[in-house]
Structure 1
Amino acid sequence: MKLQNFIKELLKTRIRLLALVSKEKAGNSAFRIFCTPLGKARYAITPILRSAENLSLSFNQVPLKGYRWNNGAGKKVLIAHGFRSHTQRFEHLIPLLTAKGYEVLAFDAPAHGLSGGKQINAIDYTTLVAHLTVRYGPFDAYIGHSFGGLAVALAVSELPGNAALKMVLFAPAADTEGLAAGFLKQMEVTDPAVRLHFYNNVERLSGKTLSWFSIKRCLPHLKSAVLWIHDEEDRITPVKEAREIRDLHPSNIRFIFTQGLGHSSIYRDTAVLQQVAEFL
């Protein structure tokens, strides 16, 4: 059994045992696990990262590691990586973006890469994108993958005048409710009371229900030009979410559906990156 699967089995057991004592504690524990990247991925500093200006930031008392390239360029772009990912996995985008005249900014999210912290949720990631926009922006464009794509879409939808911006979304986590339901199924959490306490954490932390954290919900407020790229065989963020939004015919979103790239190769594919360059 792989180590990660072994850890998941232990966590399932923990939730079941807690449920025997307290449904609330079991639900709260399940939510903390949902927000915790298993096996934090660290990385070595590569030549491209070494060429960047190093940035540091304290966010919610958590130290974050950041990078900036091409400081002072005429345009600015922010990159937001996905869950259990980090900035280094997107370094191949830097030459493309600087060639397009962008100053590029990227931070490892809390609990990711070389940043501190143990947990991250959609509330905090969205707030972080908004905070980076105030501190280092304004940005002319945003690039987000998976969980980072959701955070970018939610944050940008709250910006006044966002119609002037561009966004590239690689396989965004469009539906947080679906992700949560998938997690609870994977962790075999079937007790209605435990599930209720799981969801209550979202309202306690944000004052909103989980359905608020969806791209479909924020579409009326999202006027930016969007390039949405999703693979038909994505097993992490199902393509059906992208198709549901496409069928609403949003005039500002251009959809590209690929075949066989999955969830992670999609932002490395040469043909895809050529379309991204043309869009930006």
Structure 2
Amino acid sequence: MKLQNFIKELYKTRIRLLALVSKKRAGNNAFRLFCTPLGKAGYALSPLLQSAEQLSLFYRQQHLKGYRWNKGGTRKLLIAHGFRSHVQRFEHLVPLLIEKGYEITAFDAPAHGRSGGKQINAVDYMQLVTGLTEQYGPFDSYIGHSFGGLAVALAVSEQPRNASVKMVLFAPAADTTGLAATFLQQMAITDPEIRQHFFNNVSRLSGKDLSWFTIKRCLPQLNSTVLWIHDKDDRITPVAEAYEIQELAPPQIRFIFTEGLGHSKIYRDPVVLEKVAGFL
């Protein structure tokens, strides 16, 4: 059994025992787990990361690590990685982006990579993207994968003039309600009261319900040109979410569907990267 699955089994037992004492505590504990990247992946600095300008940022009492390449480029771009990921997994994009004239900024999100913290949620990541845009932008383009793709879409949709912005979304986590439902199913949490306490955390943190944190919800405010790339075999962020939005025929979004690349190979595939380069 993988360490991540073993830890999940321990938490399932913990939540089941907590429910005997307090369903509220059980629901709150489940939500914290939902926001925790189990098995945080660290990394050593590669030559490319060492060549970058090393950035540091204190965000909500957490020390975040970031990088910037090609400072002073003609355009600016931000990379946002996904859940249980980090910047190093996207460093292969840097030479391509420099060739396109971009100044590139990328940070390990809270609780990821070399940054501090133990948890992250959609509110935090969206606000982090907004904060990075204010401090290191404005960005002409964004690249987001999975959870990072959702954070980018939410943040950019809040920008008053976003029509000139370009976004590349690799398998974005378009529907957080679906992700939460899958998580609750995996954790065998079926009690309605525990589930309600789980969802109450979203309202407490943001004043909104979970359906607000979806790409579908922010489409009317998202005027940016988007390249959405999703694999038909993705088991982490189901392609059905992309199909649902494609059926709405948003004119600003171009969809590319691949096969056999799954959730992570999609942002490394040479054919896909060629299309990304052409888009940017």
TM bucket, shorter chain? over 0.9
Q: Which runs of 4+ in 1 moved over 4 A?
A: none
Aligned to 2:237: 237
Query: Could you tell me which amino acid in structure 2 is paired with residue 12 of structure 1?
Result: K
Tell me, yes or no, if structure 1 residue 26 matches structure 2 residue 26: yes
Query: Could you tell me which amino acid in structure 1 is paired with residue 181 of structure 2?
Result: A
Structure 2 CA distance for aligned equivalents of residues 49 and 173 of structure 1: 27
Alignment of 1:137-176 (within 5 A): 137-176=137-176
Structure 1 CA distance for aligned equivalents of residues 97 and 29 of structure 2: 41
Shift of 1:243: 0.3
What residue ranges of structure 2 are gaps of 5+ in the alignment?
none
TM-score (norm 2): 1.00
Structure 1 CA distance for aligned equivalents of residues 241 and 247 of structure 2: 10
Deviations for 1:96-139, whole angstroms, at most 9, x for unmatched residues? 00000000000000000000000000000000000000011000
What residue ranges of structure 1 are gaps of 5+ in the alignment?
none
Query: Could you tell me which amino acid in structure 2 is paired with residue 193 of structure 1?
Result: E
Deviations for 1:201-243, whole angstroms, at most 9, x for unmatched residues? 0000000000000000000000000000000000000000000
Root-mean-square deviation (Å): 0.4
SS at match of 1:162: coil
Structure 2 CA distance for aligned equivalents of residues 5 and 169 of structure 1: 28
Aligned to 2:246: 246
Structure 2 CA distance for aligned equivalents of residues 17 and 242 of structure 1: 38
Structure 1 CA distance for aligned equivalents of residues 40 and 155 of structure 2: 25
Alignment of 1:86-101 (within 5 A): 86-101=86-101
TM-score (norm 1): 1.00
Structure 2 CA distance for aligned equivalents of residues 40 and 181 of structure 1: 23
Query: Could you tell me which amino acid in structure 2 is paired with residue 232 of structure 1?
Result: K
Alignment of 1:1-280 (within 5 A): 1-280=1-280
Query: Could you tell me which amino acid in structure 2 is paired with residue 17 of structure 1?
Result: L
Shift of 1:26: 0.2
Structure 2 CA distance for aligned equivalents of residues 264 and 5 of structure 1: 19
Structure 2 CA distance for aligned equivalents of residues 182 and 4 of structure 1: 16
Contact 2:77–2:103 (Cα < 8 Å) also in 1:
yes
Shift of 1:160: 1.2
